Structure 1
Amino acid sequence: MHINFLLYTWYHSLAKCIYEHVSEETITITTYFYFCYFPIYINMAESFVFDIANSLLGKLASYAYEEVSRVYGVYKDLQEIKDTLLIVNGLLLDAECKKDQKQGLREWMRQIKNICSDAEDVFDGFEFQHKRKQVAEASNSTRAKVRHFFSSSNSLVFRPMMARQIKEIRERLDKVAADGTKFGLAKIDIGTEFVLQRRELTHSHVDVSSVIGRENDREEIIKLLRQPHGRGDGDGDRSLCVIPIVGIGGLGKTTLAKLVFNDKRMDEVFQLKMWACISHLDDFDIKLIIIKIINAASASIFTPASAALSFTLAHKENINNLDIEQLQSRLRHELSGKKFLLVLDDIWNDDRAKWIELIDLIKVGATGSHIIVTTRSNSIASMTGTLPSYVLKGLSQDDCLSLFVKWAFKEDEVIKYPDLVEIGKEIVKKCAGIPLAVKTLGSSLFSKYDLNKWIFVRDSEIWNIEQRRDDILPALKLSYDQMPSYLRQCFVYFSLYPKDYTFFRNDITRLWVALRLVQSRNGSEQLMDIAREYIDELNSRSFLQDFKILGYFGTFKVHDLIHDLARYVAKNECVALDSLTKNIPECVRHLSVVEYNSIDTALFPKSRNLRTILFPIKGKGLDKRTLLDTWISRYKYLRYLDLRYSSFETLPNSFSKLKHLRFLDLSYNIKITRLSHSICKLHNLQVLKLTGCVELETLPQWLGGLISLRELFITTKQSIMPLTLFAKLNNLQVLVFYKCDNMKFLFNDTQQLTSIETLIVESCGSLESLPLFIFPKLQTLVVSECQMVNLSLCNEIPIQKLMMNHLYIARFTGFLTIPSWIEGVVDTLETLQISGLPDLMTLPECLTTMTRLKRLWISGCPKLASLPRDFHHLTTLKHLYIYDCPELYLKCQPESGEYWSIIARMTTTSIEILQRVGVTKSSTLKVKYNIL
């Protein structure tokens, strides 16, 4: 305690000194907190409670909550809760910084988290009752209306109960708000971009001998800097090139920039070299950046370090009080006519207008001047770069081991401990090529020769190993802290999945939507579309890897260290159950089973807090009906229930108790023969997946009770799908039929389903017709392995225009050409995938008139030997993928191929030509072109 107090006093004094005396920099409140309160060793932190409270604020402001509150006359109470929560939210920002210094603050924050969760349960319950009332009123059954009148859902009965629950929530919030002031917390109103830490300022010096494995990267960047100047800033000016270096935190972007900056060859190329770290400038303050560049330019003139430092400090005092007009004049004077190299290290801000403003001020140098930008964000790299981003990769295993040995052993000691080196080889594997992770683990073992300590590090998650401020976990957490609140909320759920898991984009986004982590910004946007934008943003911030998107579909993985970060942040909020799990905390809200043999009934918490139960491992599900009964009776607040690959013949009638449930996955339950009608009482259910339930006789008659249903996946033995089953599902957007072997006709009526946007029909071998006119708003169509369907007749009754964005046609024999109705989508189609069509001989000529086509995927078409004329007219095409089409493969070869001249003229950024050699795909010969 005494040591912590001394550390706190020392940090506080340092911060005060910096805050009062470093006048040339604006010290933000976040920087002040960082210096004051960030401990030398970081501890396991609670979930960022501010994000949870902020998320509830968004939900309380949603149309659904406001509508229900007005109907039941409690709108004023709802607003009062929002006002109090806003106050509490402001106090939470201060509490996050002081929780290690003030006893009782952690408990106070835990109470707020519980209140927010309870409030969400209360309001979700009200929303459910409102939907239940709507279903009863829409029913033609007098019995149903009478039953509703005498039930607790009757507003005369329900309103007083609702008022009592709201009053309890409001009183609990008022109390914690009052308690917050007792702790001396200050209300901080700086919006959702508040962060707890900042990276320290960087400098340009580097000890080259300490850097391992970046020689090739250095040479590649230097090659770019020395090549003839061909491209400018993107606006017609060829005097300035910008090279972005992008990658995950801890990868060594700054180190690489230093290696290039200090290379003696750069002194021969550039008259002026400048280094400016701007990571701490949240708002990309142009004035402060100009001051930094002027100071760097002035310091670059002097060789002796002392003279440069003396001049720079004096110069700072002279220019600090200049206004922006005087500063820009001084800047242009310093740079004008000189060929310069400027490094802008660690850019976080993505305000393009400010970036252009800065570039306009500094593009006065001589032709050949360059800027190197380092950033963790792909979108910032794209915004700043005039050349393609240099995407920094991880180190090789050999380089990682060399670096690890350098940090773990004293010089010449490594030969004494061959056993430790062998364990070290296993330790560096978990670092996945990230130099900072290697350094972190190596440093933690420096001069420790106890075999057990090395084994502990090898077998532990990185987030369980003590970390200093400059180690890998704080470096990665900085990226997490920089994310907006809505992304931080979503990010933690990666911890529910095992490492090296292949995520399907639509699966993780469904989880986020089910947990109401996604809010429409204007009330009209589709939640899944917003969630997919979240995925794109996480990828842009270098959190994802192996990111592959093909229109509606997409997959990715999460780096092992990012997975560790997610587990670190989630703590007890999310638990992945495996064979090492000895107990599950009562406060857990989201649970996954990543090792099937680890299921132990006694482990599951008795509290009713659980919101998510997930089985992410293929082929492993629940086979204990008694455990399912326990879950249903105990966890009444479940939002997401994944029962894939389970073994039940029927489902319990008690399912209707799960009134908060939004996602139910029963896929690949090969024993289930019928569904309980109680499922149709789940009025909040948004996604129902019955994929691969091959013994399911029929769908429930009262399916229309699922008034919130957005996605329905069906496998059934029915031969005809009555349209009346779907007529009342006004919110249904995604409809999937898979292995409906007996189904000959999709629907027995010509009535249109105007809400359907995505239709997937796969492996329905008896299906004869696919009437697209029933789906006038169809945007995505997937038809695969339905041999009896004549796709040429899919649009028998003409409609004015097809609105399709994504079209996938796969695994058809006897398919000679693409249906002519594709001409109706030339103005809208963005994705076209054609695969597994062994008899396809030609592509439609209208393909070259598709004005929005971005992705074209052709695979498994061995007889396809030609591309349409004017193929290079596809100016919007970004990705072209051709696989296992031997004729096209030969004709697309560089220089020698018939179509090479066409491909070379295309503006497509990525072209992949792959051809199978031998039998297996693993022996594929791959040729990849990047046309820029």
Structure 2
Amino acid sequence: MVDAIVSPLLEQLISVSAEELTQQVKLVKGAEQEVEKLTSHLQTIQAVLSDAEQRQVKEESVRVWLGRLKDVSYDIEDVLDEWITARRRLQMKQNADSAQKQVSSCFPASSIGFKKIILRQDIAVKIKGINKKLGVIATQKDMFKFVESGGASSARPGRVQSTSFIDEEEICGKVGEKNELLSKLLCESSEQQKGLHIISIVGMGGIGKTTLAQLACNHEEVIRKFDKILWVCVSETFEEFKVAKAMVEALDGRESHLGEFQSLLRHIYESIAGKSFLLVLDDVWDGNYVKWEPFYHCLKNGLHGSKILVTTRKESVACMMGSLDIISIKELAEEECWLLFNRIAFHGRAIEECEKLEQIGQQIASRCKGLPLAAKVIGSLMRSKKTEEEWCRILNNDLWKIEEIEKGVLSPLLLSYNDLPSRVKRCFSYCAVFPKDFNIMKEKLISMWMAQGYFSAEQDEEMDIIGEEYFNILATRSFFQEFKRDHDNLIVACKMHDIVHDFAQFVSQNECSSMEINGSKEPNAINSLDEKVCHLMLAIGLGASFPVSTCRIKRMRSLFISGNMLDNSLLNGKMLKELFGKLTSLRALDIGNWSATLCSSILDIPRNIEKLVHLRYLNLSCVTLIRKLPETLCELYNLEKLDISYCINLKALPQGIGKLINMKHLLNERTDSLGHMPAGIARLPSLRTLDEFHVCGGEGVDGRKGCRLESLKNLELLQVCGIRRLGNVSDVDEAKRLKLDKKKYLSCLRLWFDVKESGGRRKNEHDQLLLEALQPPLNLKELFIGSYGGNTVSPSWMMSLTNLRSLNLHLCENCEQLPPLGKLPSLEKLYISDMKSVKRVGNEILGIESDHHDSSSSSSVIIAFPKLQSLFIEDLPELEEWDYGITRTGHPFIDIMPRLSSLAIAVCPKLKALPDHIHQTTTLKGLSIWGDQGRLEELDGWDYGIIRTGDAFINIMPCLSSLEVFSCPKLKALPDHIHERTTLKELRIGWDCDILVERYKRGEGEDWPKISHIPNLEIGR
């Protein structure tokens, strides 16, 4: 991985020294020769890195040599970053001096010059010291007799298209073992088993134990059999508290704040009483019965027939846990392994190409030794290889002879890893910072990569796209798995196989670490950390506080701190001050995303945060008690992303925020107390995201002037922008001068006008004029309009937004009629909420006249909402009718919402029925009905309309797979057709549906047998 550091360093060295030569004021005096020497050393070393990286796997001495090189490379990174930052600081000072000459006249020239000399000497001295170390390393390389090569390219790899990744179920290939496991899980337990039946799946790493367990848990018959299915990843160390906490959270579906092991066991004992459960303990290593015994006795309180499924690499562990059934997973037969490899490696190839490569492919598959993970990884690698020469090179690689991490798996992983572009290698190794079985959020992972500088600096404008491409490379190589996707089928999260995680630790040489601190576990756990750890994730548990000894790890580049305790000693200003003073190499710091109680000890952010000169990413979200940020924060010239979301008491941003010229993303959602935005916001040329811009209504805090709306005019790169308090804009011309329609990169716009006045409805005709003036660019994809006082929400430009995919109309209380949204050709998601004056939804929303007909062409079809997939209607208390006045019989050539797949209706107490096109749809998959608790005076009418409608639409909607009913206390039953649906996979009857809950109570209700066949049931939770 060192080659991935050295190549970008060389580029940076050349760039920095070249820039220095062009400057009138030389910042680093006399460093030219040292920089040349440094560059020469790195180029000499770079030529042998490819061979060194290959040999380090087998030769410890080479690994040590590369470790020393990596240490020095990090020192070079730091000093170059200091140099660049100092140059930026000097340039900003020179710009300020030229603008305000009177400021510079207050200081003697000799004094200013002295400060510059000190800075130049400091950086020059550091470079000289680094050169000495690097010179020794360059000399030592000769003793290894490395083979020189052209060096690793740090160029950006070719773009990888996102693909539909192979389904785990399709590639498992273990039909016999799957059927055996299902028979054990579904069979009735004997009386002698006394409520516990333990089944173990045993096999070597990468053989498919976890996949087999997942397939079983997702099987419809298994889901129907057990009241609860719990999944707990145990991993190498069986930590009783951690395992018990995971069980409680799986039972409750939410985070647990219980602080004692016995309290957790008691909660488990009580929660499973009288219930059948399936508990999966995945990846158990520890064979200590003393740790398992308390769980064994506790879990026997479940209903007779409950099962525990264990996956482990050791048969001794299975025996220790008291397994009645042990299923041993053997390697795939050679033919099965070939079929699995074939399915991945030859995907999408022409038949002629497959025939040409088949013989080589069979030889490669045979070297996977029957391990599914190995076949999957090497198959994913070969998918990108086109020629026979490339395939032969992989087949004949010496790495097949290596066995270290896990028998048969290391070689394929190394082959695939070594084939990655150098920058992507760093991205992969960074993933070792997450714990095993961790849900990795893709967007955050890419932000972390960016903070570490893993992407090419010259391609700054498309960093997010580069990160997406790097992620796709790793995903298509099977380094990631268990993908979670959004409604657009885009990946939002993933996990890593535990062996792939081990491999990431191996290639990162343990510079990434994760640790959970519980009570007395600190300080021993932290003290055991290698001082060379660069990236650390700390989870601080109950009874513990932030381990200040972490600050001894000087080279730390990433620090993530999370916690779930209620103790105010978790993390406070004093601890932060020490952290800022010592961990000065940090590029990413995350202390956010806690609940308000967890951050109650952080009252302010220490002024010495300015020492974190390398910082690119800072997350302070949900630190709810801070009222201001220190001005010294604005000395962090490299800061690119600042997250202060949900800092609800934050009253002001620093006045000097305009110094943060590299800021790309200011995430400040729900910073409700901000009185104004400082004028410096207008001087952030790189800003892409500004969640909430608060329009000033006069003077801001302390009499200082805040930003007016037109301050946004010069932020030309904005992609996401929210504007609050538009009611403070008195002059419509100010909105016109903003020229929103010229912001060609803007894809998401959120507009809030004002809140209600004195608890009443806000009427403001001015809002209509203002909305008209705020015309967005035609390429806008998302639009939110909220707290709007106009009588209509139909600006002239709305129908021109042909690329709009999502529209949210919220709290438009004076609007009596909805705009003709059916004309928007790309609209996929529509949210309508808190529209108090809307009584009827008719054909006006379609943009079609009720008596429309096309006499000129009987074959012409008009489509309203051609791409709409999700429709959410909430809190329309006066809505009585939803009827377009047209039918398919009378107007056979009008099609309405032909792609609608999800519909939610909430708190519409007067609505009598759904429109005909909903009854007739053949695409709807999800339907949610939310009543209004006890306030529904017309509940009987609602009952009549929905259930009668239900009798009709249940027959017609062949795709309906999910039905949710909440807050309908008078609803007596579901239509009979629900009971007969074969497509229905999920039924949720939620709170305040007492009659329904009693009627369908699991195992006891009058109509339980009618719905028991539905795989996913949630009754009364």
Q: Distance in 2 between matches of 1:731 and 1:748?
A: 20
CA contact (8 A) 2:829 2:869 kept: no
Q: Distance in 2 between matches of 1:841 and 1:565?
A: 61
Alignment match of 1:212 (pick from 163, 177, 188): 177
Q: Which amino acid aligns with 1:527?
A: M
Alignment match of 2:62 (pick from 95, 105, 112): 105
Distance 1:494 1:655, change over 3 A: same
1:512 equivalent in alignment to 2:488: no
> C-alpha displacement at 1:212, in angstroms?
2.1
Secondary structure of the corresponding residue to residue 447 of structure 2: helix
> C-alpha displacement at 1:814, in angstroms?
10
Q: Distance in 1 between matches of 2:59 and 2:386?
A: 43
Alignment match of 2:863 (pick from 861, 866, 870): 870
Q: Give runs of aligned pairs for residues 459-498 of structure 1, distance below 5 A.
A: 467-471=405-409, 480-498=417-435
Distance 1:55 1:927, change over 3 A: farther
> C-alpha displacement at 1:114, in angstroms?
0.9
Q: Distance in 2 between matches of 1:538 and 1:811?
A: 44
> C-alpha displacement at 1:484, in angstroms?
2.9
Q: Distance in 2 between matches of 1:559 and 1:634?
A: 32
1:185 equivalent in alignment to 2:143: no
Question: What does residue 882 of structure 1 align with?
Answer: 902
> C-alpha displacement at 1:510, in angstroms?
2.2
Distance 1:768 1:181, change over 3 A: same
CA contact (8 A) 2:869 2:900 kept: no
CA contact (8 A) 1:132 1:153 kept: no
TM-score under structure 2 normalisation? 0.53
Q: Distance in 2 between matches of 1:112 and 1:817?
A: 63
Secondary structure of the corresponding residue to residue 178 of structure 2: coil
Question: What does residue 454 of structure 1 align with?
Answer: none
Alignment match of 1:527 (pick from 452, 463, 478): 463
Question: What does residue 545 of structure 1 align with?
Answer: 482
CA contact (8 A) 1:593 1:614 kept: yes
Q: C-alpha offsets along residues 451-472 of structure 1, whole Å, 9 cap, x if unaligned?
A: xxxxxxxxxxxxxx9843325x
CA contact (8 A) 2:655 2:678 kept: no
1:737 equivalent in alignment to 2:699: no
Q: Distance in 2 between matches of 1:68 and 1:550?
A: 50
Distance 1:145 1:880, change over 3 A: farther
1:56 equivalent in alignment to 2:17: no
Question: What does residue 574 of structure 1 align with?
Answer: 512
Q: Give runs of aligned pairs for residues 573-592 of structure 1, distance below 5 A.
A: 573-579=511-517, 581-583=525-527, 584-592=529-537
> C-alpha displacement at 1:587, in angstroms?
1.0
Q: Distance in 2 between matches of 1:544 and 1:68?
A: 46
Question: What does residue 493 of structure 2 align with?
Answer: 556
Q: Distance in 1 between matches of 2:497 and 2:384?
A: 31
Distance 1:819 1:914, change over 3 A: farther
- 66-75 or 708-717, which deviates more: 66-75
CA contact (8 A) 1:208 1:259 kept: no
Secondary structure of the corresponding residue to residue 185 of structure 1: coil
Distance 1:585 1:487, change over 3 A: same
Distance 1:730 1:104, change over 3 A: same
Q: How large is the RMSD of aligned CA atoms in angstroms? A: 5.7
Distance 1:209 1:665, change over 3 A: closer
Q: Which amino acid aligns with 2:493?
A: F
TM-score under structure 1 normalisation? 0.58
Q: C-alpha offsets along residues 899-924 of structure 1, whole Å, 9 cap, x if unaligned?
A: 43899xxxxxxx99855323499548
Alignment match of 1:693 (pick from 644, 647, 651): 647
Q: Which amino acid aligns with 2:455?
A: V
Alignment match of 2:799 (pick from 823, 830, 850): 823
> C-alpha displacement at 1:712, in angstroms?
2.0
Distance 1:823 1:541, change over 3 A: farther
1:653 equivalent in alignment to 2:614: no
Q: Which amino acid aligns with 1:591?
A: L
> C-alpha displacement at 1:68, in angstroms?
5.0
Alignment match of 2:578 (pick from 630, 633, 636): 630
Secondary structure of the corresponding residue to residue 726 of structure 1: helix
Q: Distance in 1 between matches of 2:108 and 2:581?
A: 23
The size of the alignment, in residue pairs, is: 662
1:725 equivalent in alignment to 2:701: no
Distance 1:916 1:280, change over 3 A: closer
Q: Distance in 2 between matches of 1:798 and 1:836?
A: 17
> C-alpha displacement at 1:276, in angstroms?
8.8
Q: Distance in 2 between matches of 1:554 and 1:809?
A: 28
> C-alpha displacement at 1:120, in angstroms?
0.6
Q: Which amino acid aligns with 1:346?
A: G
CA contact (8 A) 2:345 2:382 kept: no
Unaligned runs of 5+ in 2: 156-170, 183-204, 213-328, 363-375, 392-402, 701-705, 757-761, 847-861, 871-897, 926-958, 969-986, 991-1010, 1017-1021
Q: Which amino acid aligns with 2:137?
A: V
1:608 equivalent in alignment to 2:554: yes
Q: Distance in 2 between matches of 1:130 and 1:57?
A: 19
Question: What does residue 346 of structure 1 align with?
Answer: 379
Secondary structure of the corresponding residue to residue 450 of structure 2: helix
Q: Distance in 1 between matches of 2:562 and 2:912?
A: 38
Question: What does residue 666 of structure 2 align with?
Answer: 712
Q: C-alpha offsets along residues 178-235 of structure 1, whole Å, 9 cap, x if unaligned?
A: 21121122223474699xxxxxxxxxxx999995228999xxxxxxxxxxxxxxxxxx
Q: Distance in 1 between matches of 2:60 and 2:356?
A: 43
Question: What does residue 52 of structure 2 align with?
Answer: 95
CA contact (8 A) 2:484 2:491 kept: yes
Question: What does residue 640 of structure 1 align with?
Answer: 588
Q: Distance in 1 between matches of 2:122 and 2:334?
A: 69
Secondary structure of the corresponding residue to residue 427 of structure 2: helix
1:750 equivalent in alignment to 2:798: no
> C-alpha displacement at 1:884, in angstroms?
1.2
1:118 equivalent in alignment to 2:75: yes
Question: What does residue 216 of structure 2 align with?
Answer: none
Distance 1:786 1:170, change over 3 A: farther
> C-alpha displacement at 1:575, in angstroms?
2.1
Secondary structure of the corresponding residue to residue 379 of structure 2: strand
Secondary structure of the corresponding residue to residue 518 of structure 1: coil
Q: Distance in 2 between matches of 1:57 and 1:211?
A: 55
Question: What does residue 747 of structure 2 align with?
Answer: 779
CA contact (8 A) 1:650 1:675 kept: yes
Q: C-alpha offsets along residues 461-492 of structure 1, whole Å, 9 cap, x if unaligned?
A: xxxx9843325x66666654544332231233
Distance 1:896 1:634, change over 3 A: closer
Secondary structure of the corresponding residue to residue 714 of structure 2: coil
1:128 equivalent in alignment to 2:85: yes
Secondary structure of the corresponding residue to residue 638 of structure 2: coil
CA contact (8 A) 1:612 1:641 kept: yes
Secondary structure of the corresponding residue to residue 667 of structure 1: coil
> C-alpha displacement at 1:119, in angstroms?
0.6
> C-alpha displacement at 1:127, in angstroms?
0.8
Q: C-alpha offsets along residues 513-570 of structure 1, whole Å, 9 cap, x if unaligned?
A: 12111224x5353323322333344444441434334689973132452555544544
Secondary structure of the corresponding residue to residue 727 of structure 1: helix
> C-alpha displacement at 1:290, in angstroms?
4.8
Q: Give runs of aligned pairs for residues 654-669 of structure 1, distance below 5 A.
A: 654-669=608-623
Q: C-alpha offsets along residues 431-470 of structure 1, whole Å, 9 cap, x if unaligned?
A: xxxxxxxxxxxxxxxxxxxxxxxxxxxxxxxxxx984332
Question: What does residue 797 of structure 1 align with?
Answer: 773
Question: What does residue 918 of structure 1 align with?
Answer: 966
Question: What does residue 9 of structure 1 align with?
Answer: none
